C-alpha cells in the first residue's frame, strides 16, 4: 500500500520520540508510540525509528512495552546489531514478579528470530520451563520450537528434549499441548514425538480445549495399540468426541478412529454412521466455507457407504444465493444419492439449476443430469433435449458434451440423441461443444440426415478455425462419414485433406491428415478397420453405480486438504474429451477369439515414432489359462501390483467377460521412450479347466515383457 508523505511522518515521529518532554510524560510518550504502530500498519517504512523505539522499551508501563515489542518484532531482522540492546531489558523482564511481564518478555525474545541472539535467549528459556506460572511455561515451551526453527541443523539438546517430555505431565493442559507441538517440530527429523502407551493414555484422559484436542488426536494416529482390549478402551474414550459439536474435533476423531480400526471394517462403518448427524449439521452451518468442507468430506464417506445420506437428500438441494463452489459440490453429492424413489424429485431440482446465472454451475447441473442418465436415461434425455430448445450457447454446449458421454455408456440412447442434434450447431460456439458434436456426427453419421451439410459448414470454415481439437475431430469425423455415406462426403473430404496437408501450419493436424491419406491408399477395408473401431459395449458397466470402496482407500485423506482439492479434477476426468481418447483402438479381431479360453488382445502401442504403422500391424493374441470367476476388485488390486491399470471391465458373471488394461513403460537409457500399451482381456466362458489367478497374471506379465523386448529390438 503506497503511503504518501511517509518520510515526513517518520521525521516527525522521530522528533517526538527523542523529545525529552515527551519522554517524561507517560501519556504523550505512549500516544507517540501508538502513532508509530499505526503508521507501520499502513505500510509506512518506520524501520528508521528502531533505535528510538529500543529506548522506549525500558519502561515500567506494560502497555507501552507491548506496543514497543510489536514494533521490534517486525523490524528486528533488519537491525540485528541494535536488537542486541533490547536483550538486556528483556532478560531483566524475565525476572519480573508479574508473570504476565515474564511471559511477554519471553515470547518476544523468541519472536525476534535472530540467530545471533540465541545464546542470550537459552538461559531465560530454560528458567521459563520451570516457572511456577503456567502462562510462562506455555510460552517457554513453544519458545524452544521457535529457537529450533531458527537453526534447524543445530544439535538437539537432549536435556531440553527430556525436560519437554517431562512437561507432558504438566497440570496445565495448554502447556501439555504446547509440549506436543514443540516436540513435533524439534524432533521432525526423527519422525516426531515418540508415542508410547503411557503417553497415549495420559493424553487421551487429558483432552483439553478444542484446538489442543485436534492436535492430540492427530498425533495419536501414529500410535498402534498393543492389544485388542487396549484398542477398544481407546475407542470408547473417543466415542463422545465423535459427535462433538465442533466439526474440527469430530473430523479429527473420526480420522483417528479410522486409522485405529483399519483392521475392523465393521467398527469403522459404525463410526461413519455415527458422524452422519454432526456432518449434516456442518452442511447446514452458517459459514459457507464450513459447509463446503463438510460436503467434500461427505463425498469421501459416500465412497464407502453409498446409502449413508440416502434419506437426507433434500439437505443437498441448493439455495439460490449459495456460492457456485458449494452448488457444484452439492450436485455431485446428489448424483450419488439418486434412487428409484427420489429420481423424479432430484431431476426436477437439477433441471432448475441448469438455467443458473453462473455458467459453471449450469454446466455442472447438466453434466450431473447426464450422470444420472446412465441409470435413468429416458427421463434425463427428455430434460436434456428440452434444454436444447433454450438456444443458450453455454447450455447447448454442455448438453451436447453430456450427450456424447452418455451415448458412449448407453448406446441405446443414440436414436434420441441423433434426433436432438438437428439444428444445434448454430448455437454452439466453444470448441469443447463443437468437438462433441463432431464426434457424435462421425459415430452416428447414418442416423443424422443432415450430417454432411453440418460438416460442410465446418469444412468451409476450417481456415478460420483456431481450435486444434476441433480440426482433428473434424478430420476423423469426415473420414468416418465418408465410410458410411461416401457419395455425399467424398468431395468435401478431398477438400479438407488437401487443405490440411498443403496449408495447415500445425504439425499435429497435418500428420493426422497424412495418416488418413495413406490409409485411404491402403484400401477401403483397411480404413474401415482402423476408423470404425468398436463402438462402446452395452455390457460394459464400470462407470455406473460404482461399487462401495473399502474405507482404507480414502481414510488417510480424511480431514486433510486432499478431498477439497481433487473434486474439480475428478468430476471431469471421465467426461472431457472424446471417449475415444480412452479407447482409441484399431478393431481387434474378437471373432477370432471364439475358441480361446482367454485371450489377450493388444490394442495399440503409442510409441513416439511410427505411429501410423503401429496402427495397422499390431494385432496379437495370446492364450492364457482361464481365470476363475474372480471379483473385479481383486483382479484390479492384483493388476495394480504389477503396475497394470484396469480401464474398464464388464460386471462379473456376464459373458463374454472383458477387461481393458493399460500400462506404460519407460525405457531407460539415453532416449527416454515412453510406450503406452492397451490390452483387452477376454473370457468367452467356454473354459472348463480351472487355473489360479496368479498363473494368468504371470503369463500376462511374461507376455508383456516379451512384447516389450520385441518392441525395443525393433527400435534398434
Partner 1 sequence: MIHSLFLINHSGDIFLEKHWKSVISRSVCDYFFEAREKAVDPENVPPVLQTPHHYLISIYRGKLFFLSVIQTEVAPLFVIEFLHRVADTIQDYFGECSEGIIKDNIVTVYELLEEMLDNGFPLATESNVLKEMIRPPTILRSVVNTLTGSSNVGDTLPTGQLSNVPWRRAGVKYTNNEAYFDVIEEIDAILDKSGTTVFAEIQGVIEACVRLTGMPDLTLSFMNPRLLDDVSFHPCVRFKRWESERVLSFIPPDGNFTLMNYHVSSQNLVAIPVYVKQSISFFETGPCGRLDITIGPKQTMGKTVENMMVTIHMPKAVLNANLTATQGTYTYDLTTKVLVWDIGKLNPQKLPNLRGSLSTQVGVPKPEDNPSLNIDLKIQQLAISGLKVSRLDMYGEKYKPFKGVKYLTKAGKFQVRT
Pick out residues in 275-304 that bind partner 1 (CB under 8 A).
277-278, 280-282, 284, 286-290, 292-294
- Which 3 state secondary structure label does DSSP give 647? strand
Dump the DSSP string for 641-709.
HTT-EEEEEPPTT-SSEEEEEEEEEE--SSS--EEEEEEEEEE-S---S---HHHHHHHHHHHHHHHHH
Residue 245 in the binding site for partner 1 (CB under 8 A): yes
Q: Judged by CB under 8 A, which stretch of 158-166, 194-202, 388-396, 475-483 contacts partner 1?
A: 388-396
The sign one gets for the Cα dihedral 616, 622, 626, 628 is negative
Q: Judged by CB under 8 A, which stretch of 237-245, 261-269, 463-471, 649-657 contacts partner 1?
A: 237-245
Which one, of 184, 190, 148, lies nearest residue 168 by Cα? 184
Q: Judged by CB, which is closer to partner 1: 316, or 624?
A: 316
| Cα 585 from Cα 658, distance rounded (Å) | 15
Q: Judged by CB, which is closer to partner 1: 353, or 700?
A: 353
Nearest-approach distance from CB 314 to partner 1, in angstroms: 4
Residue 220 in the binding site for partner 1 (CB under 8 A): no
Residue recorded with cell 478455425:
465
Q: Judged by CB, which is closer to partner 1: 12, or 96?
A: 96
Q: Judged by CB, which is closer to partner 1: 290, or 703?
A: 290
| Cα 646 from Cα 661, distance rounded (Å) | 4
Which one, of 426, 372, 364, 375, lies nearest residue 401 by Cα? 364
Pick out residues in 474-493 that bind partner 1 (CB under 8 A).
none
Q: Judged by CB, which is closer to partner 1: 33, or 437?
A: 33
| Cα 344 from Cα 707, distance rounded (Å) | 51
Write the interaction track for partner 1 spanning residues 132-151; mark x where CB under 8 A is met and - where it is not.
-xxx--xx--x--xx--x--
CB distance 30 to 61 below 8 Å: yes
Pick out residues in 392-421 that bind partner 1 (CB under 8 A).
392
Q: Judged by CB, which is closer to partner 1: 10, or 604?
A: 10
Binding partner 1 (rule: CB under 8 A), the pick from 46, 214, 235, 443 is 214
Q: Judged by CB, which is closer to partner 1: 221, or 447?
A: 221
Binding partner 1 (rule: CB under 8 A), the pick from 17, 252, 459, 493 is 252
| Binding-site size, partner 1 (CB under 8 A) | 88
Structural element, H or E, at residue 602? strand 598-606
Q: Judged by CB, which is closer to partner 1: 67, or 372?
A: 67
Q: Please calculate the CA angle 108-113-115 and round it to the nearest 5 degrees.
A: 130
Nearest-approach distance from CB 531 to partner 1, in angstroms: 39
Binding partner 1 (rule: CB under 8 A), the pick from 58, 82, 161, 174 is 174
Residue 639 Cα distances to 655, 681, 712, angstroms: 21, 12, 23
Nearest-approach distance from CB 181 to partner 1, in angstroms: 5
Pick out residues in 629-658 that bind partner 1 (CB under 8 A).
none
Pick out residues in 42-101 that bind partner 1 (CB under 8 A).
62-63, 66-67, 70, 77, 98-100
| Cα 251 from Cα 583, distance rounded (Å) | 40
Binding partner 1 (rule: CB under 8 A), the pick from 4, 158, 321, 668 is 321
Q: Judged by CB, which is closer to partner 1: 245, or 423?
A: 245
- Grid coordinates given for 403: 450427450
| Cα 200 from Cα 218, distance rounded (Å) | 12
Residue 218 in the binding site for partner 1 (CB under 8 A): yes
Pick out residues in 179-198 that bind partner 1 (CB under 8 A).
181
Tell me how long the chain is.
716
Which one, of 702, 704, 680, 699, lies nearest residue 599 by Cα? 680
Binding partner 1 (rule: CB under 8 A), the pick from 84, 187, 324, 708 is 324
Residue 115 in the binding site for partner 1 (CB under 8 A): no
Nearest-approach distance from CB 336 to partner 1, in angstroms: 18
- For 196-235, give one letter per residue: b (16+ CB within 10 A) or e: eeebbeebbebbbeeebbbbbbebbbebeeeeeeebeebb
| Cα 189 from Cα 148, distance rounded (Å) | 12
CB distance 34 to 70 below 8 Å: no
Q: Judged by CB, which is closer to partner 1: 278, or 452?
A: 278
Beta bridge partners of 678: 604, 662
Pick out residues in 4-33 that bind partner 1 (CB under 8 A).
26-28, 30-31
Centroid of chain to Cα 301: 15
Burial of residue 689 (number of CB atoms within 10 Å: 0-12, 13-18, 19+): exposed
Nearest-approach distance from CB 209 to partner 1, in angstroms: 7
Q: Judged by CB under 8 A, which stretch of 160-168, 240-248, 640-648, 653-661 contacts partner 1?
A: 240-248
Pick out residues in 546-585 that bind partner 1 (CB under 8 A).
559-561, 564-565
Q: Judged by CB, which is closer to partner 1: 339, or 705?
A: 339
| Cα 342 from Cα 310, distance rounded (Å) | 9
Q: Judged by CB, which is closer to partner 1: 38, or 498?
A: 38
Backbone φ and ψ for 407, nearest 5 degrees, come out as -65, -35
Pick out residues in 499-538 that bind partner 1 (CB under 8 A).
none
Q: Judged by CB, which is closer to partner 1: 343, or 483?
A: 343
Amino acid at each position: 500500500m503506497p503511503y504518501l508523505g511517509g518520510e515526513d511522518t517518520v521525521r516527525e515521529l522521530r522528533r517526538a520520540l527523542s523529545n525529552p518532554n515527551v519522554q517524561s510524560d507517560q501519556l504523550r510518550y505512549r500516544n507517540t508510540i501508538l502513532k508509530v504502530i499505526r503508521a507501520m500498519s499502513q505500510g509506512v517504512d518506520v524501520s528508521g525509528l528502531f533505535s528510538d523505539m529500543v529506548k522506549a522499551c525500558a519502561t515500567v508501563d506494560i502497555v507501552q512495552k507491548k506496543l514497543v515489542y510489536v514494533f521490534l518484532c517486525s523490524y528486528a531482522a533488519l537491525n540485528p546489531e541494535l536488537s542486541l540492546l533490547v536483550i538486556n531489558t528483556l532478560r531483566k523482564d524475565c525476572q519480573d514478579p508479574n508473570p504476565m511481564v515474564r511471559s511477554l518478555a519471553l515470547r518476544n525474545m523468541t519472536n525476534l528470530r535472530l540467530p545471533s541472539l540465541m545464546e542470550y535467549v537459552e538461559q531465560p528459556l530454560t528458567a521459563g520451563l520451570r516457572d511456577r506460572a503456567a502462562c510462562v511455561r506455555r510460552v517457554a515451551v513453544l519458545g524452544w520450537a521457535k529457537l529450533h526453527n531458527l537453526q534447524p541443523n543445530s544439535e538437539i539438546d537432549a536435556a531440553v528434549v527430556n525436560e519437554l517430555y517431562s512437561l507432558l505431565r504438566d497440570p496445565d493442559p495448554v502447556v501439555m499441548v504446547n509440549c506436543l507441538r514443540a516436540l513435533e517440530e524439534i524432533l521432525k527429523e526423527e519422525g516426531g514425538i515418540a508415542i508410547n502407551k503411557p503417553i497415549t493414555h495420559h493424553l487421551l484422559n487429558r483432552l483439553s480445549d478444542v484446538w489442543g484436542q485436534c492436535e492430540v488426536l492427530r498425533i495419536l494416529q501414529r500410535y498402534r495399540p498393543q492389544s485388542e482390549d487396549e484398542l477398544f478402551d481407546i475407542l470408547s474414550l473417543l466415542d463422545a468426541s465423535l459427535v462433538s459439536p465442533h466439526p474440527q474435533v469430530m473430523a479429527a476423531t473420526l480420522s483417528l478412529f479410522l486409522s485405529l480400526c483399519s483392521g475392523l471394517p465393521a467398527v469403522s462403518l459404525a463410526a461413519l454412521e455415527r458422524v452422519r448427524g454432526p456432518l449434516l449439521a456442518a452442511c447446514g452451518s452458517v459459514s459457507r466455507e464450513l459447509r463446503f468442507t463438510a460436503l467434500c468430506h461427505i463425498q469421501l464417506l459416500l465412497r464407502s457407504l453409498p446409502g449413508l445420506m440416502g434419506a437426507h437428500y433434500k439437505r443437498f438441494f441448493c439455495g439460490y444465493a449459495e456460492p457456485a463452489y458449494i452448488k457444484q459440490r452439492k450436485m455431485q453429492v446428489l448424483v450419488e444419492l439418486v434412487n428409484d424413489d427420489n429420481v423424479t424429485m432430484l431431476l426436477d431440482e437439477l433441471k432448475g439449476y441448469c438455467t443458473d446465472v453462473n455458467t459453471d454451475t449450469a454446466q455442472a447441473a447438466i453434466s450431473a443430469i447426464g450422470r444420472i442418465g446412465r441409470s435413468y436415461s429416458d427421463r434425463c434425455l427428455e430434460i436434456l433435449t428440452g434444454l436444447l430448445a433454450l438456444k443458450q450457447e453455454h447450455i447447448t454446449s454442455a448438453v451436447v458434451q453430456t450427450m456424447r458421454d452418455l451415448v458412449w455408456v448407453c448406446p441405446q440412447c443414440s436414436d434420441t440423441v441423433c434426433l436432438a442434434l438437428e439444428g444445434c450447431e448454430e448455437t454452439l460456439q466453444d470448441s469443447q461443444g463443437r468437438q462433441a458434436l463432431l464426434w457424435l456426427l462421425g459415430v452416428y453419421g447414418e442416423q443424422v440426415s443432415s450430417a454432411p451439410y453440418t460438416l460442410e459448414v465446418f469444412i468451409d470454415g476450417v481456415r478460420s478455425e483456431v481450435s486444434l481439437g476441433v480440426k482433428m475431430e473434424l478430420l476423423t469425423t469426415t473420414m468416418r462419414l465418408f465410410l458410411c455415406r461416401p457419395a455425399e462426403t467424398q468431395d468435401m473430404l478431398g477438400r479438407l485433406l488437401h487443405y490440411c496437408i498443403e496449408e495447415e501450419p500445425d504439425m499435429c493436424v497435418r500428420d493426422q491428415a497424412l495418416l488418413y491419406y495413406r490409409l485411404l491408399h491402403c484400401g477401403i477395408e483397411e480404413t474401415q478397420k482402423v476408423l470404425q473401431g468398436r463402438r462402446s459395449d452395452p455390457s460394459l458397466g464400470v462407470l455406473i453405480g460404482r461399487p462401495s470402496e473399502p474405507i482404507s482407500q480414502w481414510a488417510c485423506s480424511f480431514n486433510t486438504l486432499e478431498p477439497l482439492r481433487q473434486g474439480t479434477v475428478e468430476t471431469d476426468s471421465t467426461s472431457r474429451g472424446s471417449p475415444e481418447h480412452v479407447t482409441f483402438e484399431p478393431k481387434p479381431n474378437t471373432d477370432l477369439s471364439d475358441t480361446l479360453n482367454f485371450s489377450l488382445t493388444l490394442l495399440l502401442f503409442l510409441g513416439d515414432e511410427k505411429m501410423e504403422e503401429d496402427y495397422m500391424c499390431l494385432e496379437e493374441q495370446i492364450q492364457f489359462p482361464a481365470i476363475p470367476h474372480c471379483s473385479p476388485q481383486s483382479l484390479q488390486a492384483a493388476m495394480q501390483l504389477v503396475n497394470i491399470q484396469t480401464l474398464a471391465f464388464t460386471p462379473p458373471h456376464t459373458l463374454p467377460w472383458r477387461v481393458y488394461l493399460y500400462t506404460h513403460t519407460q525405457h531407460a537409457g539415453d532416449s527416454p521412450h515412453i510406450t503406452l500399451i492397451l490390452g483387452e482381456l477376454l473370457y468367452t466362458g467356454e473354459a472348463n479347466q480351472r487355473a489360479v489367478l496368479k498363473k494368468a497374471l504371470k503369463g500376462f506379465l511374461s507376455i508383456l515383457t516379451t512384447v516389450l523386448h520385441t518392441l525395443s529390438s525393433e527400435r534398434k
